[in-house]
A = this chain, B = another copy of it.
Amino acid sequence: MSEREAAELAGVFKALADPVRLRLLNMIASAEGGEACVCDLTGPFELSGPTISHHLKVLRNAGLIEGERRGTWVYYRVVAEKLTRLSGLFALPVLAGT
């Protein structure tokens, strides 16, 4: 694993190192149809809309989710390639090979 790759990955894990962001990512990943409206993501948390928006922005900047505005709301889905890459990273023979 190169220094550059390690630095990039560390940034992704920093984005994941927060319970609210992990739950948001989980909710988006498990949403029906593969996408979640931001209007459905605030309810389960005792947090303000702007705070949830901040956490979603961190996940988006890390390349874990992508959002699309349609009308009033933004709809989020996970970036499957990114999650698949992370999954492969922890699969032992692959980790050993990087």
A1-39 contacts to B, CB under 8 A, are: 1, 3, 6-7, 9-11, 13-14, 16-23, 25-26, 29-30
Q: Which secondary structure dominates where chain A touches chain B?
A: helix
A98 contacts the other chain (CB 8 A): yes
Given the known interface contacts A87-B90, A88-B87, the answer about A95 and B26 at a Cβ–Cβ threshold of 8 Å is yes
Instruction: Judge whether A17 and B13 touch: CB under 8 Å.
Output: yes
Given the known interface contacts A10-B17, A13-B16, the answer about A84 and B90 at a Cβ–Cβ threshold of 8 Å is yes
A74 contacts the other chain (CB 8 A): no
Docked complex Cα distance between A18 and B14 (Å): 8
Which residues of A are interface residues toward B (Cβ below 8 A)? 1, 3, 6-7, 9-11, 13-14, 16-23, 25-26, 29-30, 78, 80, 83-84, 86-92, 95-98
